[in-house]
Structure 1
Amino acid sequence: MAVGGFDNPNNGDPNKDYPGAITFYVLVTCIIAAMGGLIFGYDIGISGGVTSMAPFLQKFFPSVYRKEALDESTNQYFWPELINAAAQNIAMLIIGRILLGIGVGFANQAVPLYLSEMAPYKLRGSLNVVFQLCITIGILIANVVNYLTSKMEGGYGWRVSLGGAAVPALFIVVSSLFLPNTPNSMLEKNQPEKARAMLKRIRGVSDKEIEAEFKDILAASEASKAVKHPWRNIKNRQYRPQLIMSILIPFFQQFTGINVIMFYAPQLFKTIGFGDNASLLSALITGGINVLATIVSIYGTDKWGRRFLFLGGWNSNVHISVSGDVTDLPKWYAGLVVFFICVYVAAFAWSWGPLGWLVPSEIFPLEIRSAAQSITVSVNMFFTFIVAQLFLTMLCHMKFGLFIFFAFFVLLMTLFVYFFLPETKNIPIEEMTCVWKSHWFWRRFMPEDRPQI
């Protein structure tokens, strides 16, 4: 029995071991694909900094200022950034943000699945977490840009910040044209020979050595083609564990409260007594911590396992969440709050940050994979919106109680992981059914044999 009362998921098929190692080709391909996270991260990081710049508030929110003194996804990234940079009124700004949101949705749906299908199963976690690393790098770059553009004279620094994302977006647009389809996608398009050749290339082994993996992917593809209505089938009993995970994992990820820090970091640092430049500099520090801690996850996710990192992040998250009242703080205490914010960001960056994208992308069978990932992204984006919109109102009414509110959810999600999330490391993506069959709770939903669809 494994920790938490789980059977070892490898007992489902102990002899399944696909040969292959990481090749230069698959490494470059996965890095380029993962760079779709750069714009997502840049957008997260740029928002808080821009909305703390006086010229931006004067132009678009004058009353507030006086009172408070993959192909499709990459195209949907490029043009919105130019629209935002050139915005002359609120309507233009909103249109740009809506188009950008469409691009973010496309990328977040496609990139994690692409990485999970391309990567060798023993390194799937590390390569998939590169997507989250790119998100954190995007946030860090945004913090650097905000810090520099806030010093620009003429009041147009916010335009440079918003339009700056067009540079990496253009690179991603061009590089995405050279990305290959995954073997799974090629089989879906009835291209078995191309799929076999691609699998051989990305695994770096002989035809004979890829035979077992190719047969499993082919079988999954045939089952997928038999499903005419994945959105209807995903409600079937045998998919109940995956459906619940596709909803609860992104929900819990947002209720760690992380986007409160990422969206409002400059404003939060202002609240505890830092000036404009100091608040942006503090946000820059947290962005750097975010990147470094994500590298820990890249190293550990396939070595220590997903559950270990999930459970290892909860203590730090709760600690900062209950550190709460930030009114009239002395400098030493303000510095202590910044320290604990960094601890909190680090804990999220090696746990719920990357794993909130990784685990959903690897647990779905092919026949419902796209539909289920769409649910994951939709839930994630919906609760990102809810938390961002309600945070300031809740903070005004609940004060430090808001952070206790998030601490409660961190505790709840930790218990959920401990009791209900099986370990998925070192399990081939097409053999993931075995983790549910060997789980003490989810096994009741799983048929003994693959259902006839």
Structure 2
Amino acid sequence: MAGGAFADQGPVRHYEGRVTAFVLVTCFVAAMGGLLFGYDLGITGGVTSMDPFLEKFFPSVYKQMKAGVHENTYCKFDNQILTLFTSSLYIAALVASFFASATTRLLGRKPSMFLGGLFFLVGALLNGFALNIAMLIIGRILLGFGVGYCNQSVPVYLSEMAPAKIRGALNMGFQMMITIGILVANLINYGTAKYRQGWRISLGLGAVPAFLLCLGSLFLGDTPNSLIERGQHEQAKAMLIKIRGTENVDEELQDLIDASEEAKEVHHPWRNITQPKYRPQITFCCFIPFFQQLTGINVIMFYAPVLFKTLGFGSQASLMSAVITGVVNALSTLVSILTVDKFGRRILFLEGGFQMLICQIAVGVMIGLKFGVSGQGSFSKVEADVLLFLICAYVAAYAWSWGPLGWLVPSEICPLEIRSAGQAINVAVNMFFTFIIAQIFLFMLCHMKFGLFFFFAGFVVMMTIFVALLLPETKNVPIEEMHLIWKTHWLWGKIVPLSRMPSPNVGYNRKAINL
């Protein structure tokens, strides 16, 4: 494996093999777990803006909105009951992520993906056929368990199956599926909004990708790492031969076995992940998902129709604007897939942060000048188009940076002994702050008004500085060699002992890593 994070001055361990059709198909099926997450992200905002849905399950909210209780534009949709419908799923996902961690470690990545799909399938059907609020909430909880299991297992599965030189692109298949799920959900909402029972179609169709994931996972093989972790060395070798397309896998297999043997010495991954030698991993597994949510992206993903309605767009125009941002989201994620293994993670993080900052400040200024503090005003057609362009540019920047990289980097930096625990922390932090933002956004919009966009812009500044100072480049580094990148970092090198010695055929020096 040439080049990459170890640069050109020292050769990196080179494993034989090619990118096989089998590994591409396998990763595509696994990445469908992201389709479930994306579908729910996109479907909720549209459904909660449909009058028949509100009339049936939230009649008091419907009456309040129709009666025009709030004259201030910023406060049109400020209702905690309504936001709880959206946000409750993510508390369930947070709880599920810890159960999923044990399942992923003890039973393998494949069973976790199947369980995630099964939970989501039952939850989507319950929501689609809901007759009362109890069925709706139980369905949301099951959807949350599905999201928790899929978000725990899929990124780890993809990172372990993919060859190092295209690990970034294949892992980002998860984020690509999330964006496709959001886009499909927005299109379905746009098509079903005119029907009285359209909300049932929107919620129930989530069962389709869930069924496909359940079915597909039955035919997937587990990762070599997971098989070795459970003592199945012969099966691991057979899988490695299959996914690398060569019989000569002994060197890579031995590295995986060595990593697994070291991992077995760690009997308490949750306790050990707090040790100084894992300080970089726990830092990024906590702060990357934290900052990912504090970009404010889920304000757009959850509430795009509501937000556009608040800013003066009509009902159909609001849904269509959400579709447009969904298209931009999907296309921009494709840009990231095509560039992440060529240009690296850091440059995408930094460029994305800068672009998001500019767009958020511009949106805040536009809304502030038009609506002021009173919330009275409206956009002209030209102004609305400019606003939509800025929001799309913001979504694009997120979609090729903090969106996919927020799942890729934490899944690839953790050694096997703490990988499940690290991913569980990543998912839990992500779900917790997703819940917080989903629950309080409409309240914050009502009280902070246009200042809300400057609030999120402040976090974008912080997270961009965070990456610039603390994240070394990880592109093209084999996943079991990832521990080497910390030793040459200006901060982590003082904290992390080089516990594993590099192989004799690995050139390793400070200049060999792009920091």
What range describes the TM-score normalised by the shorter chain of this pair? Answer: over 0.9
Residue 201 (structure 1) aligned with residue 251 (structure 2): no
**Counterpart of 1:354?**
404
Shift of 1:444: 1.2
User: Is the contact made by 1:38 and 1:138 (CA closer than 8 Å) also made in structure 2?
Assistant: yes
Looking at structure 1, the residues matched to 207 and 443 of structure 2 have their Cα atoms a distance apart, in angstroms, of: 33
Residue 377 (structure 1) aligned with residue 427 (structure 2): yes
Residue 441 (structure 1) aligned with residue 482 (structure 2): no
Shift of 1:320: 2.1
Shift of 1:10: 5.3
Looking at structure 2, the residues matched to 95 and 438 of structure 1 have their Cα atoms a distance apart, in angstroms, of: 49
Looking at structure 1, the residues matched to 428 and 52 of structure 2 have their Cα atoms a distance apart, in angstroms, of: 33
| Structure 1 residues 51-200: aligned runs within 5 Å | 51-69=48-66, 70-152=113-195, 155-200=196-241
Residue 345 (structure 1) aligned with residue 389 (structure 2): no
Shift of 1:146: 0.1
Looking at structure 1, the residues matched to 223 and 299 of structure 2 have their Cα atoms a distance apart, in angstroms, of: 36
Which consecutive residues of structure 2, in runs of 5 or more, have no partner in the other structure? 67-112, 372-377, 502-515
Looking at structure 2, the residues matched to 21 and 319 of structure 1 have their Cα atoms a distance apart, in angstroms, of: 41
User: Is the contact made by 2:5 and 2:474 (CA closer than 8 Å) also made in structure 1?
Assistant: no
Looking at structure 1, the residues matched to 448 and 472 of structure 2 have their Cα atoms a distance apart, in angstroms, of: 36
**Counterpart of 2:507?**
none
The TM-score with structure 1 as length reference comes to 0.95
The TM-score with structure 2 as length reference comes to 0.84
| Percent identity of paired positions between Structure 1 and Structure 2 | 59
Q: Deviations over 1:65-121 (max 9, x none)?
A: 111121110111100001111112222211110111011000000000000000000
The AA in structure 2 aligned to 1:132 is Q
Shift of 1:18: 1.7
* SS at structure 1 position matched to 2:180: helix
Over 3 Å counting, the alpha-carbon distance change for 1:129 and 1:312 in structure 2 is same
**Counterpart of 1:256?**
295
- Which region of structure 1 is more displaced relative to structure 2, 237-246 or 312-321? 312-321
Q: Deviations over 1:165-185 (max 9, x none)?
A: 111211111111001010011
Looking at structure 2, the residues matched to 276 and 257 of structure 1 have their Cα atoms a distance apart, in angstroms, of: 23
The AA in structure 2 aligned to 1:121 is A
1:333 to 383, 387, 393: 383
Q: Deviations over 1:361-395 (max 9, x none)?
A: 00000000000100000000000000111111111
Residue 310 (structure 1) aligned with residue 349 (structure 2): yes
* SS at structure 1 position matched to 2:424: helix
Q: Which runs of 4+ in 1 moved over 4 A?
A: 7-13
Looking at structure 2, the residues matched to 98 and 356 of structure 1 have their Cα atoms a distance apart, in angstroms, of: 24
Which consecutive residues of structure 1, in runs of 5 or more, have no partner in the other structure? 1-6
Shift of 1:42: 0.3
Looking at structure 2, the residues matched to 448 and 136 of structure 1 have their Cα atoms a distance apart, in angstroms, of: 38
**Counterpart of 1:291?**
330
**Counterpart of 2:454?**
404
Looking at structure 1, the residues matched to 127 and 336 of structure 2 have their Cα atoms a distance apart, in angstroms, of: 34
Looking at structure 1, the residues matched to 473 and 152 of structure 2 have their Cα atoms a distance apart, in angstroms, of: 23
Shift of 1:449: 2.9
The AA in structure 1 aligned to 2:114 is D
Looking at structure 2, the residues matched to 422 and 85 of structure 1 have their Cα atoms a distance apart, in angstroms, of: 45
Shift of 1:194: 1.1
1:419 to 469, 481, 488: 469
Over 3 Å counting, the alpha-carbon distance change for 1:179 and 1:415 in structure 2 is same
The AA in structure 1 aligned to 2:143 is L
Shift of 1:149: 0.4
Looking at structure 2, the residues matched to 309 and 226 of structure 1 have their Cα atoms a distance apart, in angstroms, of: 36
* SS at structure 1 position matched to 2:379: coil
**Counterpart of 2:478?**
428
* SS at structure 1 position matched to 2:54: helix
User: Is the contact made by 1:12 and 1:434 (CA closer than 8 Å) also made in structure 2?
Assistant: no
